[in-house]
Amino acid sequence: ILFSHPSPLCPRDMILELSKSEIAAKIAAEHGMKKSEISQILDTLAKVGTEEVRNAGKFKVPGLVILKQAARKEKHARLFSSDSGRWVPAQPRRMVTTAQLVSSFKKSIRLRSR
Please give the average per-residue pLDDT across 63-84, as a whole number. 81
Q: What angle (nearest 5°) sits at the alpha carbon of residue 100, between those of residues 47 and 54?
A: 35
pLDDT given for residue 112 in this prediction = 63
The torsion angles phi and psi of 41, rounded to 5 degrees, stand at: -65, -45
| 34: nearest Cα among 16, 19, 21, 47 | 21
State pLDDT tens for residues 13-22. Answer: 556 788 999 9
Which amino acid type is present at position 109? I
